Structure 1
Amino acid sequence: MKKSPLYEIHLDLGAVFGDYFGWMMPKHYVNPIEEYKFAKTSSVMIDRANVGKLRLWGKDVIDFMNRISTNDLRGLTPGTGAVTVLTDEKGKMIDVVNLCLLKVENGHQEAILFLSPGSVEDVKSWFDKLIIIDDVKYEDITDDYVIISVYGYGANEVISSEFKVDHKHFLDISKMPLYNFVRGFIIGNEVFIVRVDEFSSLGYNLVCRRDDAVAIWKLLQSKGLMAVGHEVFNVLRVEAGIPSFGREITKDYNPLEANLIKFVSFSKGCYIGQEVLARIDSYNKLQKRLVGFIIEDKKGKLKFDKDAIVFSDDEEVGKVTSVVYSYGFQKYIALGYLKVKFAVQGEKVKIEFGGDRYDAVVILPPFSV
């Protein structure tokens, strides 16, 4: 199992570790409830070394990515980025990725593609299948770089006070559009800062070389940022209704079902899966939709974290994909896919697993805590 370059720091902070797609990452530290409260009221940071990263280069990078994914990427310029969905011929999801264009010189393009944790091999295999005559090359740099994500109130001030950039057009990082980035230095170490919104909270991904991660983490910690583990990160993700690879993002579902229509272009022309998605949209043929659930009547720990079946009366109407305990609601909440007919705010359903049935209420994400 892989370890983050920050592993020893996490040990010193009292981390309890878990397996996150083959990476030993902090599940939580001393008190996950305090981590959650801090994330809601102040600034926090999380080690996300397990996020996949590919470097792409060649003359056809943008054209290639535009032809194999859902968003319109043709207007990207160096310093800008976009989230897009890799879909197969049936419009089903391979991954949701963030493409950041680094430079364009004499027709040569270079970009970094940030992937979901756990999706690297799937995406590489997909690229190997599709790159035939395109002038596109890639390398896996997942292990070479670390992402330290910073979120919450005051995050902008903490980063800005330490971030140095010699760029005459540089503006306040809080005014950067989502998914855009800027390159600069923190204590002399090169850092990419990418603006993100991964659980409906102001955030930045600080991307640095693995050998620089410890110094940058310690500096942020000295500025009062609390470290949070992946357990709390997952709770915040579910509360925001954000789909996750291997759960909501699989080849069983398409991006329209996953509420990712904002990353889908219906006007840019052909791409893999485009005909299927356009037909679903044009003829209003959406079969299911990603929704949330508040599980009402369960005391103690649930026996499942996904794959429970959702019923309305005796009709099977959906499937649960993620379950967490929300410290805000003080109840278990979940994400899952429901038939569109039942994807209605306040709809009462039953969730069944292992012969037990639990009362639940449908929520259209995000949850309001």
Structure 2
Amino acid sequence: MAAQRLVTVGGPTLPIPSVTSSPCRPFSSFRSHRHHQSGAFWKRKTPTKILISLSSTSSGSKLAALPFDLSPPPIDHDLLETVTLAGAKVSDDGIIETFNNDDEALDAADNGVVVVDLSHFGRIRVSGEDRIQFLHNQSTANFECLHEGQGCDTVFVTPTARTIDIAHAWIMKNAVTLVVSPETCQSIIKMLNKYIFLADKVEIQDITKQTCLFVLLGPKSNQVMEDLKLGSLVGQAYGTHQHFSVSGMPITIGVGNVISEEGFSLLMSPAAAGSVWSTILSQGAIPMGSNAWETLRVLRGRPAPQKELTNEFNVLEAGLWNSISLNKGCYKGQETISRLITYNGVKQRLWGLCLSAPAEPGTPITLDGKKLGKVTSYASGRKESEHFGLGYIKRQTVSEGDTVTVGENVTGTVVEVPFLSRQCQPTQSSGS
């Protein structure tokens, strides 16, 4: 029997049923509803208590996957209204840009806990009997060695192994859910559909607008999960995910996120987003907008499409070793990757740069007047004097701690960045 746990947001306690109970009935504290195959979506007038229903987590048992209702919710996405009333700046296309606390949020990412709305990132659902083999052949990770409830990072590349994007994948009971960058979602969907042949039992769906995505990160994120009675995920392998219910609506929570192996990702219905957001904030998390998130991305060294991930650089130059299988057989880009490894053909690599002043992407990086590479991303730090960048530099020309010149007179110190320093080059005999 599913266990039920209450997380207090404020207001009276309501006997909200889990999705494993009989069909939901409206309460006076809810307005407008419509029943769906997997339950009911509700719009809440005021925050009450959130009921989280967990499938059995006993040793050796499998969590039963809760099916997602992929039809659009019958209500407006009220999360943006909630954060706007709280003082957040929201762009015309619905992206939360800032909560006017960027420095505080960046500090919390290093020393506390932050929550970020990444609902503008793409979500792709790959279903059908051949979905695992299909993704196995179309990207760099070994999907055939994964099981339900596990996950991984994989890279979509061109036939010559040039990078398109990193995807964060969850292996679910009836589908694989991919989280991709907002810039690449539609092009990846188009590319995947192009490679589905008549005999393939594969279906590609864009579920971005039918779902919301939050990221929780920082050294205190584990404590937040414990306080929410979700400690069963703490300490699990990267990509491990479980399905829960919030007020009768499905939510999937996974270990890690698109920027770090630490922290958690939360995928849910837009109808649940406001309540989940308020609950996380009530546990002490600091909200972070997309402006600070971009700064954090650069500081952590996570490559991004149209910047570090372009047709100019291959997947090995980007250093994405944790996403690559060297022995899984034929897949798109595999021949080029194998040749680059065999003949030591990787000509450049991605580094972090501590800069003495701002530097625009595209600015050349030189040493003793000789061009070594170029800057691909720039971000200012929490102090006016802090400047940081990412850039590709020719291999065997610099080491960590070396000083280079960026542009005409900006000094740059070459440094390792957390995201890339955790990438571990696999051996040919590994099962990755």
Structure 1 residues 343 and 131 mapped into 2: Cα distance closer, same or farther (>3 Å)?
farther
Q: Distance in 2 between matches of 1:261 and 1:238?
A: 19
Residue 132 of structure 1: how far off its partner (Å): 1.4
Q: Distance in 1 between matches of 2:124 and 2:315?
A: 22
* Alignment partner, residue 167 of structure 1: none
Structure 1 residues 206 and 139 mapped into 2: Cα distance closer, same or farther (>3 Å)?
same
Deviates most, 245-254 or 150-159: 150-159
CA contact (8 A) 2:161 2:336 kept: yes
> Alignment partner of 2:209: what SS?
coil
* Alignment partner, residue 127 of structure 1: 192
Identify which of 394, 405, 422 aligns with 1:350: 405
CA contact (8 A) 2:246 2:272 kept: no
* Alignment partner, residue 301 of structure 2: 241
> Alignment partner of 1:256: what SS?
coil
Residue 30 of structure 1: how far off its partner (Å): 2.4
Residue 311 of structure 1: how far off its partner (Å): 1.7
Please tell me whether residue 281 in structure 1 is matched to residue 341 in structure 2.
Answer: yes
Q: Identity of paired residues, percent?
A: 26
Structure 1 residues 315 and 331 mapped into 2: Cα distance closer, same or farther (>3 Å)?
same
Cα deviations by residue, 1:291-335 (Å, 9 ceiling, x for unpaired) = 011112x3xxx363x222212232222111111112279410100
Q: Structure 1: where are the runs of 5+ without partners?
A: 104-108, 165-170
CA contact (8 A) 1:346 1:361 kept: yes
Please tell me whether residue 363 in structure 1 is matched to residue 415 in structure 2.
Answer: yes
CA contact (8 A) 1:100 1:113 kept: yes
Structure 1 residues 26 and 227 mapped into 2: Cα distance closer, same or farther (>3 Å)?
same
Q: Distance in 2 between matches of 1:195 and 1:4?
A: 25
* Alignment partner, residue 175 of structure 2: 110
Q: Distance in 2 between matches of 1:158 and 1:189?
A: 21
Once superposed, what is the RMSD of the aligned Cα atoms?
2.3
Q: Distance in 2 between matches of 1:201 and 1:274?
A: 25
Residue 213 of structure 1: how far off its partner (Å): 0.5
1:147 partner letter = L
Cα deviations by residue, 1:126-167 (Å, 9 ceiling, x for unpaired) = 112211132111110001100111112332332344357xxx
CA contact (8 A) 1:266 1:278 kept: yes
1:14 partner letter = G
Which is richer in strand? 1
Identify which of 291, 295, 319 aligns with 1:259: 319
Q: Which has the larger radius of gyration?
A: 2
Q: Distance in 2 between matches of 1:72 and 1:222?
A: 39
CA contact (8 A) 1:187 1:216 kept: no
Residue 181 of structure 1: how far off its partner (Å): 0.7
Number of matched residues?
Answer: 344
CA contact (8 A) 1:4 1:25 kept: no
CA contact (8 A) 1:152 1:201 kept: no
1:230 partner letter = S
Q: Distance in 1 between matches of 2:323 and 2:78?
A: 33
CA contact (8 A) 2:168 2:257 kept: no
In the TM superposition, 1:162-181 aligns within 5 A as 162=228, 172-181=232-241
Q: Distance in 2 between matches of 1:199 and 1:264?
A: 17
Deviates most, 254-263 or 140-149: 254-263
CA contact (8 A) 2:138 2:332 kept: yes
Structure 1 residues 193 and 328 mapped into 2: Cα distance closer, same or farther (>3 Å)?
farther
1:90 partner letter = T
TM-score computed with the length of structure 1 as normaliser: 0.87
* Alignment partner, residue 84 of structure 2: 11
Q: Distance in 1 between matches of 2:235 and 2:367?
A: 45
Q: Distance in 2 between matches of 1:139 and 1:197?
A: 21
1:15 partner letter = A
Structure 1 residues 364 and 37 mapped into 2: Cα distance closer, same or farther (>3 Å)?
closer
Identify which of 371, 380, 386 aligns with 1:316: 371
CA contact (8 A) 1:163 1:184 kept: no
Please tell me whether residue 78 in structure 1 is matched to residue 151 in structure 2.
Answer: no
Q: Distance in 2 between matches of 1:364 and 1:160?
A: 32
Identify which of 201, 211, 216 aligns with 2:276: 216
CA contact (8 A) 1:81 1:179 kept: yes
Identify which of 101, 105, 109 aligns with 1:39: 109
